[in-house]
Amino acid sequence: MSRLQEFKNEFSSREGIHFNSAGRTPLPRTAAERLVKFVTDGQLHASLRDQDLFEMLVRARKNLARFLDADVESVAFVPNVATALSQAALGFPLKVGDEVVVLDQEYASNFYPWSEACSRAGAKLKVISSGESGSVEFASGDQLSEKVMAAIQPGVKIVAVSWVQFQTGAVLDLKKIGDRAHAVGAYLVVDGIQGLGQLPFSFHDLPVDFVAGGAHKWMCGMVGQGFLAAKKDFMSLLVPTVVGCGTFNRFGSFADQSAPMENSARKFEPGAFSFSALLALDSAIEVLMAPGMEVIAEEIARLSQIFRRGLIELGEGVSPGFKMVSPMNQPSGITSFVLPKELEEKFIKTCKDSSVALIKRGDFIRVSIHAFNSEEEVDRVLDLLRLNQIS
């Protein structure tokens, strides 16, 4: 059996068709089994097994660092992406006149922290329009990357972008953007939640200074577990926004005014952890890494292109009103498209009644296919669209 098939088998007991990996994925079987054991152990033994929690944390930190291709000292666990990005935004020493570059199509969790940070510091939030005359015309990853690079000029201190755009799946070129940012003395901060778990990523090799991620989307973990990684130079500038015993490595001990602050990313972990969510993430990372992210990415691209080809064939029959938003060769598993209003409502209702998970995002229907999905599921969803089209 291939490693890819072993990965798919981890999700074989799920019900329905999960085409919303950009929203929330099912847990792998291994993660679910470990969680049941963990909860039962907590019921029976509680603090008699505290050493197990410490060992779990050490293992999870090493696995996360390996997954991101980062140093262990550079990674930290936080509740969610918003917490991680707020740490980057509100902990950075922005000054009056500094500029922060963001895109107009960012998810709220990667917009509001920078908006608030600029407001507090008297800095300028430089919002890049992804379309002409301020309109939001959703461009390809290459077009968006060029717009971001053009906006990075002297005076910019932070470039804050999503690696993969949540509405359309457009993938930004982090290498080009990061190199340009560093050339003018700026730092690149990345919301990676829509890319990590579906595309290969190397924190070591990319000119990314800070990346935030979350467990419950493409990484197949639970809601309520986030993480971050920070390069040493950028980390040294950040003041922790939440402070506790962990900030000074004083777990299980009295306070000591002379205790130095942690100089690793653990200074961003102020207190106790959500160990159940942490365990699920750790298990999911092991499941993802078994076949390797290159294999996962290839399968996501293959299934997504099959789906897009089918959409285009069907779309020719419902024109006008059909619009394919995501390019055929887009590497991410997100496919966004527009249907005529009446057909859209029928299709979304049919999918819900048929236990197919997809979502409406803005003006688009968004389908996000993972490597655990199958060609049969792709064909089934296309058939549902075809039936609604002719009924």
| One-letter-per-residue 3-state SS of 4-47 | HHHHHHCCCCCCCEECECCCCCCCCHHHHHHHHHHHHHHHHCHH
Residue 139 clears pLDDT 90, i.e. is over it = no
Higher-confidence position of 387 and 374: 374
Looking at CATH, the fold of the domain delimited by 3-14+293-390 is given as Aspartate Aminotransferase, domain 1 (3.90.1150)
Q: Provide the phi-psi class of 336: left if phi over 0, else alpha when psi is between -120 and 50, else beta.
A: beta
* Amino acid at the residue 288: L
* Amino acid at the residue 227: F
* Amino acid at the residue 228: L
Mean pLDDT of the chain: 94
The token pair that represents 282 in the structure block: 């750790």
Residue 135 clears pLDDT 50, i.e. is over it = no
User: In this structure, are residues 233 and 74 in contact, taking their beta carbons and an 8 Å threshold?
Assistant: no
Q: Can you tell me which residue has the tokens 């003041």?
A: 239
CA geometry: angle 9, 11, 16, nearest 5 deg? 125
Burial class (CB in 10 A: 0-12, 13-18, 19+), 188: buried
The domains spanning 3-14+293-390 and 39-289 adopt the same CATH topology: no
At 133 the pLDDT is 42
The token pair that represents 24 in the structure block: 């929330």
Q: Which of 349, 348, 353, 351 lies closest to 377 in space, CA to CA?
A: 351
- Give the predicted TM-score (pTM) of the model: 0.95
At 343 the pLDDT is 92
User: In this structure, are residues 199 and 217 in contact, taking their beta carbons and an 8 Å threshold?
Assistant: no
Mean pLDDT of the 102-113 span = 94
* Amino acid at the residue 258: S
C-alpha torsion sign, points 208, 110, 289, 272: positive
User: What confidence tier does 390 reach under pLDDT thresholds 50, 70, 90?
Assistant: low
Mean pLDDT of the 329-333 span = 94
At 25 the pLDDT is 97
Residue 316 clears pLDDT 80, i.e. is over it = no
Percent of the chain with pLDDT over 70: 97
Mean pLDDT of the 90-107 span = 96
pLDDT tens for residues 178-195? 999 999 999 999 999 999
CATH number assigned to the domain covering 39-289: 3.40.640.10
* DSSP notation for 104-149: TT--GGGTHHHHHHHHHHT-EEEEEPSSGGG------HHHHHHHHH
User: What confidence tier does 273 reach under pLDDT thresholds 50, 70, 90?
Assistant: very high
Mean pLDDT of the 275-297 span = 97
User: What confidence tier does 204 reach under pLDDT thresholds 50, 70, 90?
Assistant: very high
pLDDT tens for residues 214-243? 999 999 999 999 999 999 999 999 999 999
At 317 the pLDDT is 72
The domain locations on the chain are 3-14+293-390, 39-289
HSE-CB at 340 with a 13 A cutoff on CA atoms is: 13
User: In this structure, are residues 129 and 274 in contact, taking their beta carbons and an 8 Å threshold?
Assistant: no
Mean pLDDT of the 320-346 span = 92
